[in-house]
Structure 1
């Protein structure tokens, strides 16, 4: 397996020691903007649905099918792209994901009816769900461990600007053209990004070397070395000599991700992403409705929600400053508990000022955690050879939470009220925090090669 990589003084160790260079910045911008265009198509759905309802195309039931189709697509895309990413490479699979959601978006722009449009939205979800796994997952393989948390959080910051960009794009295009223009423009931007990814994004040298394609991997590492002024430029012969025990074959089966060492990683990554999906989709999607149920009129409800959501980019920005300063599993568990506690306090407020202040703080903490979970910790816990499959499985289970939680919230809100929603949410989040604190694997400052160690060995080394 990959245990020998950690001890070798070969190519991957040299890559880890190189300073951040133009190559790293280029990779950051390419992956970041690809994730952002992915997010724009994702976030544009609410605006599109509003126009469809206004034109008589849709109603509440069709809207639910439209949203559910995307989430089902996310579930499928996470699993399929995860498997392909480990098998045929990060870059090829990422390009395939962009082709899928860009093409589906283009076809959606010419949809003759709502059923056809829902099918297109499901196909978009497959590409977007896979793109999220590949984007965040592969980026962790490019950045040195000592600053990987900060850089991954920065990627999350770029991605989390997409809801704002989508809202601006929809505000310009829908009144003047219609919802079709949103999908057409989104598709065009995505195809442009596909061209950029194809020309400017390198395959992960870690994936190449771990899969026996040493010469290709070392060529990329040599390029990085030249750009960064690093003196130790290796030849393929030197790499083979240092890393001669690397085995390209990987016989990991699906069942292996649910027991033993990989099973522990699946449990931890899944709990991390379930907490993110549970809190993010419950709070951001239901806050306006909760306000209305508390007797606040719809106009003030929307205004208060908008003010609170200013905390989202603030939270992601703060995550870039603190991510590498604290042990990962402790930081994650504390953030989950904070969201749960703030949610309960928030639910018991009656003053609008208190609701706004506590709610905004809650959103800030939530988006720090959003950055931690999806961009940093969940992608980090996996060995290189199994990374995309493991991350895809964890993401797909997290998506199930996003599909189920709206129905749970609706039932709790109707039958028991706002406080019950946050009590149940807090209990579920606390369970996720306990799993992370007890079974979590510390990843801060550890290289991708170190993460190929058995998780028990990792726990005993720090």
Structure 2
């Protein structure tokens, strides 16, 4: 029996409630430990060298193993998440990086740790793809961008948490304790998430309408009173379109746009943010002073994510990304012209803020909205994979640019990336603010698309 109302229509009419807050914290907790596990590497690698366990070459292999695993995790999460469901995939990736982290506590040598770090990377790369895409499938259109930014705030707090915990734990308990904290945290979230429902939108898209109705009935029962009547949307189960749909004529523009956003943001992070302490030391500052100035600049991370929550539904995702990219490009120019370290630090704070505002608007909110439910994770995963690959090679480009002319060529690269992003999003992006995910479907993207016509792209 075909349901009277679609899953999307029934979810979109629900007022924000404790159910949505529970979903946010369950997804956010997993993404927090994902980022915590990524950022703990800095403190651990320093301790490994000091203990004689590792050297710079082995540290580089550790970092490379992380990125290779994340590339594989990002891509595979897109395939598995659309094929087997959001719930199966986020539980599997939590189990992978949780168990690998706990196994790292017992690693007998550095090469074993590097192999385990590869498996951690697989789980870590998958979590971001699944988390941001899944939260948007539960939140009503008028709040979707803001709640994606809330998830970005939770995720970004892991940088400060990993730094603080490492400072307190590593000198007293050693580096193994950091992996124990990450692993136990991930498995605790895995257990808590066992009660998290599957996305009704995904269930409906693969023809499991009875399961979708059962989940929706349980969600609606938590409200206890009358609810608004859902809009009339057709209920359509679609065939698995495979990866090729991302490169077909109706969708390829969105695929390329999502890829550009992911790559340009990774260029900003791994081509500038990660190098600021090194640049400052090269300019004559002591390591302590460099870290002090960088710490102040890094406060722009949570500030940017918080701004994302404020402007996502006011300025919109396309307009917000375009304006933020242009402001960040201007700040990149200003950084090169700063007459003192104090002014450069203030400008750097603004630049960090803009970069992490782009993460909240672009990666957290905008990219998952560009793709329909049946291939949302595939589209997000392909774009994320491209960004991860860029993250592997950008540091080598930075080394070459810095050797050829100092920090100015590096900032020219950064400004160029930001301007390219502004132009692409401004000219080829669509505005997704306050529009249902079903309304955003590309016109003519597959069988049954005539039943759910989308508005014009521009």
User: TM > 0.5 between the two?
Assistant: yes
Match of 1:246?
236
Are residues 84 and 296 of structure 1, via their aligned partners in 2, closer, same or farther at CA, if it must alter by over 3 Å?
same
The answer as to 2:106 corresponding to 1:110 is yes
Are residues 171 and 461 of structure 1, via their aligned partners in 2, closer, same or farther at CA, if it must alter by over 3 Å?
closer
Match of 1:287?
276
The answer as to 2:353 corresponding to 1:364 is yes
For the residues of structure 2 that align with 1:57 and 1:427, how far apart are their CA atoms? 40
The answer as to 2:200 corresponding to 1:205 is yes
User: Residues 78 and 126 of structure 1 are in contact (CA less than 8 Å); yes or no, is this contact kept in structure 2?
Assistant: yes
User: Residues 442 and 458 of structure 1 are in contact (CA less than 8 Å); yes or no, is this contact kept in structure 2?
Assistant: no
For the residues of structure 1 that align with 2:361 and 2:85, how far apart are their CA atoms? 25
For the residues of structure 1 that align with 2:287 and 2:148, how far apart are their CA atoms? 37
The answer as to 2:35 corresponding to 1:39 is yes
For the residues of structure 1 that align with 2:66 and 2:331, how far apart are their CA atoms? 30
Secondary structure in structure 2 of the residue aligned to 1:247 = coil
The answer as to 2:338 corresponding to 1:342 is no
Please show how residues 277-316 of structure 1 align to structure 2 within 5 Å: 277-316=266-305
Q: Output one character per residue of 1:261-280: Cα deviation in whole Å (capped at 9) or x when no partner.
A: 22111111111111211111
User: Residues 333 and 433 of structure 1 are in contact (CA less than 8 Å); yes or no, is this contact kept in structure 2?
Assistant: yes
Match of 1:320?
309
For the residues of structure 1 that align with 2:443 and 2:68, how far apart are their CA atoms? 33
Are residues 233 and 335 of structure 1, via their aligned partners in 2, closer, same or farther at CA, if it must alter by over 3 Å?
closer
| TM-score using structure 2 length | 0.93
* TM-superposed deviation, 1:296: 2.2
Q: 2:341 aligns with which of 342, 346, 352?
A: 352
Which sits farther off after the overlay, 290-299 or 182-191?
Answer: 290-299
Structure 1 or 2: larger helix share? 1
For the residues of structure 1 that align with 2:13 and 2:220, how far apart are their CA atoms? 10
Match of 1:21?
17
User: Residues 7 and 201 of structure 2 are in contact (CA less than 8 Å); yes or no, is this contact kept in structure 1?
Assistant: no
Structure 1, unmatched stretches of 5+, are none
Please show how residues 351-430 of structure 1 align to structure 2 within 5 Å: 351-430=340-419
Root mean square deviation of aligned Cα: 2.2
| TM-score using structure 1 length | 0.93
* TM-superposed deviation, 1:313: 1.1
* TM-superposed deviation, 1:202: 1.0
Are residues 243 and 338 of structure 1, via their aligned partners in 2, closer, same or farther at CA, if it must alter by over 3 Å?
closer
* TM-superposed deviation, 1:74: 0.9
For the residues of structure 2 that align with 1:152 and 1:328, how far apart are their CA atoms? 11
User: Residues 441 and 459 of structure 1 are in contact (CA less than 8 Å); yes or no, is this contact kept in structure 2?
Assistant: no
* TM-superposed deviation, 1:297: 2.4
For the residues of structure 2 that align with 1:352 and 1:455, how far apart are their CA atoms? 54
Q: Output one character per residue of 1:29-87: Cα deviation in whole Å (capped at 9) or x when no partner.
A: 11111110111111101111010011111222211111111111111001111101001
User: Residues 36 and 159 of structure 1 are in contact (CA less than 8 Å); yes or no, is this contact kept in structure 2?
Assistant: yes
Q: 1:227 aligns with which of 222, 228, 247?
A: 222
Flag as ranges the 4+ runs of structure 1 deviating above 4 A: 242-245, 455-459
User: Residues 429 and 457 of structure 2 are in contact (CA less than 8 Å); yes or no, is this contact kept in structure 1?
Assistant: no
Match of 1:275?
264
Are residues 455 and 363 of structure 1, via their aligned partners in 2, closer, same or farther at CA, if it must alter by over 3 Å?
farther
User: Residues 311 and 361 of structure 1 are in contact (CA less than 8 Å); yes or no, is this contact kept in structure 2?
Assistant: yes
Secondary structure in structure 1 of the residue aligned to 2:251 = helix
Q: 2:425 aligns with which of 433, 436, 442?
A: 436
For the residues of structure 1 that align with 2:86 and 2:132, how far apart are their CA atoms? 11
For the residues of structure 1 that align with 2:228 and 2:334, how far apart are their CA atoms? 57
For the residues of structure 2 that align with 1:233 and 1:147, how far apart are their CA atoms? 17
Secondary structure in structure 2 of the residue aligned to 1:77 = helix
Q: Output one character per residue of 1:350-400: Cα deviation in whole Å (capped at 9) or x when no partner.
A: 312211211111111111112112211111111000001111000000111
User: Residues 384 and 452 of structure 1 are in contact (CA less than 8 Å); yes or no, is this contact kept in structure 2?
Assistant: no
Match of 2:255?
266
Structure 2, unmatched stretches of 5+, are 446-452
* TM-superposed deviation, 1:334: 1.7
Secondary structure in structure 1 of the residue aligned to 2:351 = helix
User: Residues 30 and 196 of structure 1 are in contact (CA less than 8 Å); yes or no, is this contact kept in structure 2?
Assistant: yes
Q: Output one character per residue of 1:154-196: Cα deviation in whole Å (capped at 9) or x when no partner.
A: 0110010011111122122211121111112211111111000
Secondary structure in structure 2 of the residue aligned to 1:316 = helix
For the residues of structure 1 that align with 2:112 and 2:424, how far apart are their CA atoms? 42
User: Residues 442 and 459 of structure 1 are in contact (CA less than 8 Å); yes or no, is this contact kept in structure 2?
Assistant: no
Please show how residues 92-107 of structure 1 align to structure 2 within 5 Å: 92-107=88-103
Are residues 418 and 150 of structure 1, via their aligned partners in 2, closer, same or farther at CA, if it must alter by over 3 Å?
same
Please show how residues 118-157 of structure 1 align to structure 2 within 5 Å: 118-157=114-153
Q: Count residues in correspondence.
A: 450
Which sits farther off after the overlay, 41-50 or 335-344?
Answer: 335-344
